[in-house]
Amino acid sequence: MIFDSNSLEGLKFNQDGLIPAVVQSVASNKVLMLAWMNEQSLALTLETRETVFWSRSRQQLWHKGATSGNTQRVVTITKDCDGDTLLVMVDERGPACHTGTETCFDGNASTGEQVS
C-alpha cells in the first residue's frame, strides 16, 4: 500500500457529509462520471481499492459494479487545491454508465456539439 493516508487529511465534506468525486479513466482519459463519497465510502474505496460511493437517491452505500459487474479499480485519488473535490483515476471494467455507455456523458450527443 503505497497510498499515503495523510494526503487525504483535511478534506472538506459538504453540509451533507459528502464530497464530489470525478472519476476518470486512466486508459482513455475520459471523464466517466461524477459521484459522491462520504467518509465511510471513501474509507471503503481505500480499503477495497474499488470505487464505493454514497448514493444520494437511494441514501445508501453504492459499490460501483456490485450488481452489474462493471467495477472500477482505483489507481490514484487526488484532492483539489481547496480539498473539496476528489479526482479518482480508475481502471474500469465495462461501461461506467447504467445506460450501457462508456461514460455518463455519452448519451447526450446533442449537447456535445461545438459551441463555437
* Pairwise CA distance, residues 44 & 51, whole Å: 8
User: Quick check: 1 binds a second copy (CB under 8 A)?
Assistant: yes
Taking CB under 8 A as the criterion, the residue among 6, 58, 67, 69 binding a second copy is 6
78: contact with a second copy by CB under 8 A: yes
The pattern of x and - marking residues 87 through 106 that bind a second copy according to CB under 8 A reads: x---------xxx-x--xx-
- Contact residue for a second copy among 12, 55, 60, 112 (CB under 8 A): 112
Distance set, CA 91 to CA 15, 23, 29, 94 (Å): 30, 10, 10, 10
The DSSP code sequence of 17-70 is: S-EEEEEEETTT--EEEEEEE-HHHHHHHHHHSB-EEEETTTTEEEETTTTTS-
x-or-dash string of contact with a second copy, 20-59, rule CB under 8 A: x-x-x----xxx-xx-----------x--x----------
Q: What does the binding site for a second copy look like in residue numbers (CB under 8 A)? A: 1-4, 6-8, 20, 22, 24, 29-31, 33-34, 46, 49, 73-82, 85, 87, 97-99, 101, 104-105, 107-108, 110-116
